[in-house]
Amino acid sequence: MLLSLAIASCKKEEAVIKIPVVYVAGYEYNGTKYVAKYWKDNTEVKLSDGANSAYALSLFVSGQDVYVSGIGYNENNSISTAKYWKNSVEVKLSDGVNDAYANFIYVSGKDVYVAGEEWNGTKYLANYWKNGTDVKLTDGTNHASASSIYLAGKDVYVAGSESNGTNSVATYWKNGIAVKLTDGTHNAYASSVYLSGNDVYVCGYQYNGTVYIATYWKNGTEVKLTNGTNTAYATSISVSGNDIYVAGYESNGTKMIAKYWKNNAEVKLTDGTNDANASSLFISGKDVYVGGGESSGTNSVAKYWKNGLEVKLTDGTNYASAKSIFIAN
């Protein structure tokens, strides 16, 4: 009887084990145009038909629904339209009159938030869309862009940048109020924002007069990840417990090396033989997933790394790039 109960208990525990599902959004050239797509456990799902170029830039999974934001171009590639796809069904966010970009998507309950920017005829305005309604973050006095969005309760955090008329200033907005992270002496850009408790983490990169330095800010306090010898970029940030993870890439003097930093200590994902980049990061339990791409010597191959081990999503026949990774259990 006790043995039977033990076996039943083990079977019950085994039944609740969930296998992570890996989603990666990106795009691939079809010989004439770029096709927006995502991969679910390495199986591709095309979001555009290839008639005009389209790019998938960010992905979010909520329950059974897969949301992907990106852009699509008109026939002559002159105007980009901001959009997202819900379960592969397209939802346009802009009307196609002026350039617009949907850079990052975040879903909270039934609300869909997309961060980006849109041309107003003279300048790019940083903005986000909530359920399709445009919320402007800047007034058009200077160029601005929004690269990432995060929800914490009722608070909306958006990372990006705004020009001061001379240089770009790394910035995040909390409920529409700008918080400047750099002083505008040199160009600086905020790529990603993440909330952990009451702490606001933003990563990006800033120019030192010679090269760009990969950087993150915790509650506005700067932490440099690279020493300024070679150009480096921080693209995505996440926090798990007391650990801070930042994805990015850094030049070795001739090639870009994809990497991430855990608590400021670098972990290289490529060896510098070919140019590579890390564009997105997701922490799932003890596993570190990083999406990006690496040159094959001819074309860029879309791939991701799980705990440093690469998984190729494309074969290098055509140019491809992985821009966003999301792990669903």
Model pLDDT for residues 105-154, shown as the tens digit of each residue: 999 999 999 999 999 999 999 999 999 999 999 999 999 999 999 999 99
Residue 53 resides in a domain: yes
Region 55-71: mean pLDDT is: 98
Has residue 321 got a pLDDT over 70?
Answer: yes
Distance separating alpha carbons of residues 216 and 234, to the nearest angstrom: 8
Query: Which residues lie closer than 8 Å to 199 by C-beta, 6 or more apart?
Result: 218, 219, 239
Residue 92 resides in a domain: yes
| Residue 16: per-residue pLDDT | 59
The number of beta carbons lying within 10 Å of the beta carbon of residue 135 is 16
Residue 75 resides in a domain: yes
Residue 317 resides in a domain: no
Look up residue 41 and give its DSSP letter: T
Strands 243-251 and 256-262: antiparallel
Where in the sequence is the domain holding 69, given as residue range(s)?
Answer: 19-117
* pLDDT tier, 13 (very low <50, low <70, confident <90, very high otherwise): very low
Distance separating alpha carbons of residues 288 and 3, to the nearest angstrom: 38
Residue 200 resides in a domain: no
- What DSSP element (H or E) covers 14? helix 2-15
User: Hey, what are 177's tokens?
Assistant: 């109020």
* pLDDT tier, 329 (very low <50, low <70, confident <90, very high otherwise): confident
Residue 125 resides in a domain: no
Q: What is the pLDDT of residues 291-315, one digit of tens each?
A: 999 998 889 999 999 999 999 999 9
Residue 268 resides in a domain: no
- Is the Cβ–Cβ distance between 99 and 80 less than 8 Å? yes
Number of domains in the chain: 1
Query: Which residues lie closer than 8 Å to 180 by C-beta, 6 or more apart?
Result: 169, 170, 171
Residue 51 resides in a domain: yes
Q: What is the pLDDT of residues 283-297, one digit of tens each?
A: 999 999 999 999 988
* β-bridge partners, 194: 201
User: Hey, what are 24's tokens?
Assistant: 């990666």
| Residue 205: per-residue pLDDT | 98
pTM of the full structure: 0.94
Higher pLDDT, 7 or 260: 260
Q: Which alpha helices (DSSP H) does 186-325 contain, by range?
A: none
* pLDDT tier, 220 (very low <50, low <70, confident <90, very high otherwise): very high
Closest CA to 192 of 170, 162, 207, 224: 170
For the chain, percent of residues with pLDDT exceeding 90 = 92
Region 41-70: mean pLDDT is: 98
